[in-house]
Structure 1
């Protein structure tokens, strides 16, 4: 595969990963609490996200409330997770802009040496963005798994990893792959 096609493939993967990172930032599916004692409260489950908590009732109705209502739930871990995900989104967008500017098939710069350097910088930014997504996803997964084991015998409720964590791991892999494709030696 020539360098131009490799760069376009890397940019396409990075765009998908950045869109996925925006999606995990917005979705309230980082942690899922499923209630097995349905009768008294009629609550089936809760979905926890970075910005809001959604309650699902047995009737199928979903009601979402921001964390402003529950300020005790927003701790330093949640603030750090939010910050890292937002920085990952911004650095991913910056990496896409660098990747477009340094693409061999686009005449944004006339010097091939500068294009190579900008393409290399784009790959580095994508790898950094991958780590910025991986850290909060693994942190929240670790906290959730600890809660799963803590509540295993004490409660009738069950806690599960949310879809945003799985999407975050997939996005991390795409960002690493995109960065690797752009870092690969360009002829």
Structure 2
């Protein structure tokens, strides 16, 4: 089993990965279209995400519309939502399990049970990473949201 400082460093990296996973799930930057038009006054940036679509005008106005109906969305967006939420859940579960198995905590009991807890937490993190990668592969070539 690794040293306590290496475990703590890996745990901090896992926390940053979980925060990044949550941010990627919630932010509307999955697909960005910039339309300048004939002059700078009519510039528009459209952002599409899993949960909302946003429009940013050159005048500084910003408006978002939520995607309320799950069943009216295309299948690939429903699948992307599902896998990203599963990724967030698995990474949170991995953080909880790994906290029990780390050497620097007094939770979990003896060395064998701590080793098993760390292994289970690592499996959760690996599965969370795979589920986080699935939406980029759904439509092929990284194009999750269609034009």
TM-score by length of 2: 0.86
On the 8 A contact 2:52/2:67 being kept in 1, the answer is yes
Q: Distance in 1 between matches of 2:145 and 2:91?
A: 30
Q: Distance in 2 between matches of 1:31 and 1:37?
A: 19
1:21-74 CA-partner distances (Å, limit 9, x unpaired): 1111111100001113256x93512000110000111212111011238x85x2
Partner in structure 2 of residue 116 of structure 1: 115
Question: Runs of 4+ in structure 1 displaced over 6 angstroms?
Answer: none
> Could you list the runs of 5+ residues in structure 2 that have no partner in the other structure?
none
Partner in structure 1 of residue 63 of structure 2: 63
> Could you list the runs of 5+ residues in structure 1 that have no partner in the other structure?
148-158, 160-187
Kindly indicate whether structure 1 or structure 2 has the higher relative contact order, using CA contacts under 8 Å at least 6 residues apart: 1
Aligned residues: 145
Partner in structure 2 of residue 154 of structure 1: none
| Structure with the bigger percentage of helix | 1
| Coordinate RMSD, CA, aligned | 2.6
TM-score by length of 1: 0.69
Label 1:19 to 1:141 Cα distance change in 2 as closer, same or farther (>3 A): farther
Partner in structure 2 of residue 172 of structure 1: none
